[in-house]
Structure 1
Amino acid sequence: MIIAHRGLGEPENSMLSFKRAVKRGFGIEFDVWKTADGELVSLHDPEIIVDGEKHSVKELTFKELKALAPLGVRIAKVEELFRKFPNALFNADVKDAEAVEDLPELIRNYEVEKAIVSTTEVEILKALRARDKGLKLAFSIIERSSVPKVPFLKRSLEIFALHVPIDGISYVGFANFRTLLKWVRGMGIKIGFWSYEADELRYLPLLIDLGDYFISNNPVEVRTLLARLKKSF
């Protein structure tokens, strides 16, 4: 399965980009923040910049965020995503610890069956699991020091997946990278690949046997590549 990172096309993280992704058969990835009036919204960063001025997402109401044209057209409520795309695969990346209180309830209320909730923070994972034993939780690796935490997260929190940056190859080497992936899969943990700067189209053919899904910046190109690889076997 291919998940479109922040949607498909510009403006990213907008309802339009998510609609394009779902229409093309991709899952959608989005970051979650909570506004001052308690709305969960899809935005990548904790601040937005309009005309050179910074605005904190958490200090503004949803209405105030929408009023900050031209950015306002890009802001989508998480609730709206669940309502408009009931059959989509979602990857909700929780950046804001305060969102933990409401996100599991939204998933239950909208009966979202295909939702992966990910984060880079162990404490957020713990809080999510405390609120919902059935959530499919994923831990996103952003530094090497996170790797030793994986067995604990599987044992104590029953994480569903590990989100692994293919950029890690440049730090540990290709052979070691594959060995680590096999170690993770041996614990019964799914693997979702993502990329920060590494070339997806170069490395995914070498890792396809170890990945369960791909959180891609180039979902159309990746799907074409994977289809071509499948035909070659």
Structure 2
Amino acid sequence: MSPLRRARPVVQLSAHRCGAGQDRTLENTRVALDGALRLPVEYVEFDVQRCGDGTLVCFHDDWVWVGDRRRDLAELTFAEFAARAPHFLRYDEVLPALVGHARAHIDLKFSDPAAVVDAVGQAVAVLGADEMIVTTLDDRTVRVVRDWADEHGHDLLVGLSLGRRVRGLPLNRQLRIRASELLPRVRILNSRANLVVANHTLARLGIAAFARRRGLPLLVWTVDTEDSLRYWLRPGRAWLVTSNEPALALRVRAGLERSRRAERRRGLEGSEP
């Protein structure tokens, strides 16, 4: 192929759980968010849960320890949640913090349709639809958001996440879930997802090829090792990569870009008469 071929776009980066790295206590916290905003990543990813009083919080799990019991967030007021997890951010704190710094990668962990629409509408009002993406494991939630976006004239990317945890589920259910992920055509069509979101292992097993065939952007999560980052950050492999190690990912991407520029220079020199 000619060295003068059209260059493929650089793969973008999303700082997973506000770029907390391997320290789970920092996930979705102000410390992690401030660190991510100092990096030239294109997106910052954060999880959104809903407390029982309707307050949206940046938190991954749908439960917290209360004494020696696990209590669902849906049963707790924000004050009760904050008493157990005071260092986590509220949703309405994160959105304005991103303005002018990075786009929002909003991973919804709840599925009440009215609450979902309200949360997405709030983000669009603060950031604009072109400065955010929405991802979720729930097919119905994808469709709710896509239908809402179309109704209001927003060109919003909404992704169906493939690769949910199945450990502990009955074997037949595990197999059904994985089959629906490895062959996701029906789910993508029914949910109206316009962004394919896949665990990096499943992406290599065919989901990346599916996204290319359908002409859909591909988001790959969560890529943390240097070898895996080197694979997925090659232009054309994905549209966006989510990483717990955004600083490492940026170094790998910069190294790939330097190598690509050097290769193009050598190609141009070799093509001179």
Query: TM-score, length-normalised on structure 1?
Result: 0.84
Moved over 4 A (4+): 155-158
Residue in structure 2 matching 1:205, options 209, 222, 230: 230
Say which is worse superposed, 47-56 or 18-27, in terms of deviation.
Answer: 47-56
| Cα deviations by residue, 1:8-31 (Å, 9 ceiling, x for unpaired) | 235111122112101212221111
Q: Which stretch has the larger CA shift, 97-106 or 201-210?
A: 201-210
What are the superposed Cα offsets for residues 133-172 of structure 1, whole Å, 9 maximum, x if unpaired?
233101111134224333662x555533211211227xxx
Q: Would you say the 8 A contact 1:40–1:77 is kept in 2?
A: yes
Q: Within 5 A, what are the aligned runs for 1:152-167?
A: 153=188, 155=189, 158-167=192-201
2:148 is aligned with 1:131: yes
Greater RCO (CA < 8 Å, at least 6 residues apart): 2
After superposition, the CA RMSD in angstroms is 2.2
* Alignment gaps of 5+ in structure 2: 1-11, 164-177, 261-273
Partner of 1:72: 86
Q: Give identity over the alignment, percent.
A: 22
8 Å Cα contact 1:7-1:18 kept in structure 2: yes
Q: In the alignment, what sits opposite 2:69?
A: 53
Distance in structure 1 (CA, Å) of the matches to 2:209 and 2:56: 36
Is contact 2:15-2:36 (8 Å) kept? yes
Distance 1:180 1:94, change over 3 A: closer
* Offset of residue 200 of structure 1: 3.3
Deviation at 1:51, TM superposition (A): 5.0
| Structure 1: segments with no counterpart, 5+ residues | none
Partner of 1:182: 209
SS of equivalent residue, structure 2 residue 116: helix
Tell me whether 121-130 or 139-148 shows the greater mean CA deviation.
139-148
Name the residue aligned to 2:265: none
Partner-residue secondary structure (3-state), 2:86? helix
For residues 1-233 of structure 1, the aligned pairs below 5 Å read 1-9=12-20, 11-26=26-41, 27-49=43-65, 52-68=68-84, 71-74=85-88, 76-87=89-100, 88-98=102-112, 99-112=115-128, 113-133=130-150, 134=154, 135-142=156-163, 143-150=178-185, 153=188, 155=189, 158-168=192-202, 177=205, 180-195=207-222, 200-207=225-232, 208=234, 209-233=236-260
* TM value normalised by structure 2: 0.73
SS in 2 for 1:32: strand
